[in-house]
A and B are shown apart, each in its own frame.
Chain A
């Protein structure tokens, strides 16, 4: 009797330790995502020639498409993607839907920047984190029985980050464009925020059902590329679009590289959504604005010539954002809340007939006993080789534009970003084997 009680106690302690370890991993993934999503802006800053925003977005998405197939093939192998889809084929629909949502949101964001400027647009669509909290609570039992302290930490932290984002955007924005369509710009920015905030419903659903983020993104990207191509053709026309793409040959590599780096950040964002939920994962990865600003100010000298007021705004906004991040990072889900997460996962498993041992194992960040160990095949190496060749081909065509560039800060930021990748990647591998 005493032995059974001791064994139960030991099991509970182990489960609690595992849950804590996954929460820390999720927070680390969110912060690494912010660094990489912010760094993705750097190559795009090299593009100074007149290309329409729609075409810039389309070329970046082509780079994203290459990365979303080659990285999962390299890390886990496509056999693992096939196995995941076989267990929960309905999730392909959600992956495509999420990709479409991203493409429309990104296009709306471009219109918002054109009409009202980044300083007003960014805080408006950054409110996506607040919407993510609402969807997480309503649909996936997040923050249930979390206690008022955690509620304050998450909601207050997200609100603080929105305020910090507003201050940073004001400081970093160039002179706001004067447009006859400012009201349209406000609607576009709010629309982008709603679409991006809602895009996390498919993310969370997939990860509660057990799908690996590496499998989810391979289908997500079809929605993304399909919708983006459709929008570019619809708004530009096939002939002019082709002419613009040919005209942009020399800078295509930089945009595709930006898309490739963005995918690395997005993968960590997906793991953050999986292990800390969308209510905490979205605001943590929204720190990308802070990193984007660091690249802009330190490497590209974007605040050069501005008064001390702009620097005060940058410091103040950054501090506000960091306080918000700290509040969210310290509000990780407790045992009671995680019990509600498991109930939401059981609901998905029962509804779609996904094996329970698979859902439970994946929620716990491990491979189910019934699963075969993922292996890479010739197809995977071919995919990696094809993506590398395409990127190398465009790199050979690329020209380095004349640009004011500070190598010292760029080297420091690159080292910090790579360090985060190594630390987080190693922890992700050690704790979950990328599940």
Chain B
């Protein structure tokens, strides 16, 4: 494993983020929250 972040090879950070379930679960919950807010208002 590379020891320095700048020496990383492979997919870009953005691609890694977009493939990360830790990103999509909070994002889905946020979207659901905004929809709920719109609905109850």
Contact = CB atoms under 8 A, between A and B. Distances in A.
Contacts of A104: 30, 33-34, 37
B1 A195 contact: no
Interface residues of B, number: 27
A202 B30 CA distance: 13
B17 A90 contact: yes
B30 A201 contact: no
Interface in A195-253: 195, 198-199, 201-202, 205, 231, 235
Interface string B9-41: 000010011001111011101101110110111
B31 to A, nearest CB: 10
A198 B5 contact: no
Contact of A94 (B3, B23, B36): B23
Contacts, number: 89
Contacts of B41: 111, 235
Interface of B: 1-5, 7-8, 13, 16-17, 20-23, 25-27, 29-30, 32-34, 36-37, 39-41
Contacts of A137: none
B40 A349 contact: no
Contacts of B17: 90, 93
B36 to A, nearest CB: 5
Given A93-B23, A98-B26, A198-B26, A352 B13 contact: yes
Give the one of A115, A205, A353, A354 with max B CB within 10 A.
A353
Contacts of B4: 353, 355
A176 to B, nearest CB: 18
Contacts of B7: 353
A351 interface: yes
Contact of B1 (A93, A187, A198, A349): A349
Interface string A117-155: 000000000000000000100010000000000000000
